[in-house]
Every structure is written in structure tokens, then in C-alpha cells.
Amino acid sequence: MTSGAAGAAPTVAVVGGGLAGLAAAVALASAECRVELFEARRWLGGRAASFHDPKTDELVDHCQHVSMGCCTNLADFCRRTAIDAFFRRDRTLHFIGPDGRCYPLAASAWLPAPLHLASGFWGLKYLSIGERIGIARAMWRLMRMRGADDQRLPTVGRWLREQGQSERAIEWFWGVVLISALGEDLDRASLSAARKVIVDGFLAAREAYTVEVPQAPLSTLYGVRLQAWFARHGVALHVNAPVRQVKLEGQPAVVLADGATRRFDKVVVALPWSKVRDVLSDEIAAAWPLVEQLGSIEAAPISGVHLWFDRSVMELPHAVLVGRLGQWIFKRDRQGDGAHEGHYYQVVISASRNLAGRDRQQIVAEVCAELAAIWPAVGAAQLLHARVVTEHAAVFSVRPGLDHARPLQQTPIAGLFVAGDWTATGWPSTMESAVRSGYLAAEAVLRSLGREQRFLAPDLPRGWLARTLIAD
């Protein structure tokens, strides 16, 4: 069904219905392309999706996904598709220190960025004065560090030790902030990725650090709602439709599971990095050697511990857990008709390799014991139901030098584009990176058609002090 005819709208196939493919499809449809999206599973959203829990009869996210104020492209995508009202913005981050006390972190009302969080960081009094001064010093150095070749930089863990950071500061501050943002351990993650989190996520703009929490299951947002958007905007959606191969037949073509071949003017491959080589024909791979390197990108696991108690055990909307197995806990509203019993919480454990070999009961018991030490109500409550969900390839591992393996969205093959959180966006493995990649792929598709159109949303504006102090 290619358009071919002069003046007809160009046809574009988007392969993969994760956030990268969804963003590409939304952008291209709004630029009047005839878009068809092929997704292997029966639902959209990819790694940001939910499953049906038979015991509670509700949609449960595989793992809590949160965004931050600095994620301007995900926010733009949510606005374009009218799902932005389903996010709550938390402006106070509730750190629970190793002593079990709550240390709220919020922006000062009068200090400009990058100083707006200074009093909040200073208030993390479970760290010594010397440790807090040391953290401020290391933040200053990160701010002043100019972009260097990622390959030449050490891991952030090594750099922090070189800066004289104490083990407590590393575990109780840097680890808490960075492991959940990067999905990777400090001794594996690159310094440049860590700098991005600290500078763009906390220092560059006042609202950057705020946490955006979805108020509906991910599969409702990126599934049901997006499906309705696509129907209204003429995007042909094929779910349960794995693409077996992408090849060249004069122009790019996709081969479906039943062997049918469909030709398009342009194809955007928006698959996880580990699956891209499998679907590209040998002819394409030969013309694009970088694709062979994608297999060497390592993955990192994230686990979600889902807990249903018979009563409310925590009043805070979320908490950052310092020095514990889980890094974050979220209080979740129950979905459905309200007839469900219990109060639902989700604990997130990023870079959860340390859970390997432990059984579900052990993990749940350890998490509950840690929570009970903070909130005695947990000890008194009855645990009605629990699940541990681990995604072994949740995110790509932001190792030093990874940026060299991340391809641009425009490939050297005419008509073929890639999107995915793993492509060259400058961001770690996040929904923001996925949406950026989709927008960049859409811009490249249009450019190849002789049209310049910008979808990428600008970063949060920096005030004069941030512009002066942060080196770029």
C-alpha cells in the first residue's frame, strides 16, 4: 500500500509500540504521513506497560514508572495525546534516612537555580556536616565539568572516591539519587550519565527535580488512551503483529509473521536494542556495520515489589528509602470499581542483580521488615497479597563509552530509521529518551522527504545564574 503517487501522503511503517514507536507515530501522523504501527504484543507501551493481576483483578504496572520535571519531551508527548492530566507532580521528595526519620527535600521559594535545592540537601542531616560539604563540592565540580569523551571518563563510583567522598555519602546520597535514575550501580555507570542526572535533573532549573507520577495504569495511558488517539488521527494500528523482517525491495519493506510483505516509503524500527539485528535483513546489516555492535550493549535489571496490606501503612505519596534494599516506595491508588480490598504500595529496586538467587518470600519479608522499621503500621498490618516482578533487561547499562555504540535515528540506508531509548539521545534509558528518539526519528523521516519540522521540545530554560555557573 505505498503511496508512490506524486502528492500523495508518504507511507511510514513504525515497527514497535513502545514509547519510542508511539512518539514517532504521533509526530508523523500529526505531520500528515500515513502511519501504520506494528506491535508484537497485544498491548502498547513496551517496557512501560501493565499486566492483569488475577488475585486483585486490577491492572498493575510491571514496575512503577516516574518521570521528572526535566523530561520535557515526555511531557510534550503526554500533552499532544491529552494524557497529561493523568500525572501528579510531587514537589517535595521525602527522603527516609537510615535512622527512619523523614527529611523532606524541596526547592527554596526564593533561591534561583542551581542554588534552589541547597537548603534541602543541607537538611539531609543523617549525613555529617563534612559529608554534606563534600557533596556540595562534588556537585560544584560536576557543574563545572565540560563535556568530555565518555570513553575516557571513569565510572561515577570511581570518580566519587577520587573526590574523597565517604562510603556513607556514596551509599546514602549518590547511590540513592543515581541508581534509581540510571538503573545502574555506581561502579558500572559512567560519570557523564551521572553528571547529566545531577545537572539536568537537579541543578539546571527550578522544576527539574520534581517527580511526575502516573495516576492510572501505564497500559491505560500508553495503551487504551493512545489507541483512541491513533483511531482519531488515522494511524493504522496492528497489535499482535510481530514483524519478522525489515528488508529492501527497492524501498523498505516489512515482512509479517504470515509471510506477507508490505512496502512503505519509510520504515522506523523502534525495537529494543537487542532485537534490532534480528529483524534487519543481512543486506541492511552489511550496509550498516554499527548494527552489529548493538548486541554488545549490556542490560540492567529492575524489580518491583508489589504489596497489598489490609490497612493504610504510609501516608506519604512516595518516599525515597536511604540505605535499604528498595530505593523508592509509592502509595498507589486502587484501580477499578473501588470494590477492591486493601491498600496497595510499590517498592522499586533498581539495578537489582543482588536479588538473583533469592526467592520471592525472602525478598518480600526483607522489604516488609525494612518498611516496618520505618512505619510500625506495616508490622501491625496484614499482608494480603504480594508480587515481585523483575525485568531482567529493564534498561541498558550506561557504561563508560556506551555513547559510541548509540546510533543516530537516521541510518545510512535510504528510507530506514531507528528509534528507541538506546539510540543517540544523550539520555539514559528512560521514557524521556524513548520519546526523544521517536521525535528525532520523525524529524529525520520528514527531512528525507524535504520537509523541516521540529518535534523535539526544548530543555527547561536556565536562568542567568545557572547559565553562568553550569559549564557545557
Ligand X SMILES: Cc1cc2nc3c(=O)[nH]c(=O)nc-3n(C[C@H](O)[C@H](O)[C@H](O)COP(=O)(O)OP(=O)(O)OC[C@H]3O[C@@H](n4cnc5c(N)ncnc54)[C@H](O)[C@@H]3O)c2cc1C
- Which residues sit at the interface with ligand X, rule CB under 6 A? 15-21, 38-41, 46-48, 62-63, 65-67, 242-243, 270-272, 275, 279, 302, 391, 394-395, 420-421, 429-432, 434
Q: Which three cell numbers, joined as nine digits, stand for 393?
A: 533487561
Q: Are 246 and 267 in contact (CB under 8 A)?
A: yes
Closest CB to ligand X among residues 127, 280: 280
The side-by-side arrangement of strands in the sheet containing 318-321 is: 102-105, 93-96, 318-321, 328-332, 343-350, 299-309, 383-396
CB of 32 to ligand X, least distance (A): 23
Q: Which three cell numbers, joined as nine digits, stand for 165?
A: 567522598
CB of 467 to ligand X, least distance (A): 26
Closest CB to ligand X among residues 138, 271: 271
CB of 83 to ligand X, least distance (A): 15
Nearest to 468 by CA among 209, 112, 212: 112
What is the rounded distance in angstroms from the CA atom of residue 270 to the CA atom of residue 406? 14
CB of 162 to ligand X, least distance (A): 29
Closest CB to ligand X among residues 25, 466: 25
CB of 432 to ligand X, least distance (A): 6
DSSP 282-339: HHHHHH-GGGGGGGG--EEEEEEEEEEESS----SSEEEETTSS-SEEEEEPPPSSS-
Closest CB to ligand X among residues 26, 378: 26
Q: Are 220 and 127 in contact (CB under 8 A)?
A: no
Q: Which three cell numbers, joined as nine digits, stand for 440?
A: 528525532
**How buried is residue 186: exposed, middle or buried, by Cβ count under 10 Å (0-12/13-18/19+)?**
buried
What is the rounded distance in angstroms from the CA atom of residue 118 to the CA atom of residue 270? 40
What is the rounded distance in angstroms from the CA atom of residue 71 to the CA atom of residue 460? 9
Closest CB to ligand X among residues 23, 204: 23
CB of 421 to ligand X, least distance (A): 4
Q: Which three cell numbers, joined as nine digits, stand for 162?
A: 577520587
Alpha helices in 188-263 (DSSP H): 191-198, 218, 226-232
Closest CB to ligand X among residues 165, 409: 409
CB of 376 to ligand X, least distance (A): 28
Closest CB to ligand X among residues 70, 127: 70
CB of 63 to ligand X, least distance (A): 3
Closest CB to ligand X among residues 40, 314: 40
Nearest to 27 by CA among 235, 227, 224: 235
C-alpha 247: how far from its chain's center? 30
Closest CB to ligand X among residues 43, 159: 43
CB of 296 to ligand X, least distance (A): 18
**How buried is residue 332: exposed, middle or buried, by Cβ count under 10 Å (0-12/13-18/19+)?**
buried
Which residues make Cβ contacts (< 8 Å) with residue 232, sequence separation at least 6?
A: none
Closest CB to ligand X among residues 335, 429: 429
CB of 286 to ligand X, least distance (A): 20
Amino acid residing at 470: I
Beta strands at 243-249 and 251-256: parallel, antiparallel or unpaired: antiparallel
Closest CB to ligand X among residues 80, 158: 80
Is-cis flag, bond preceding 242, omega within 30? no
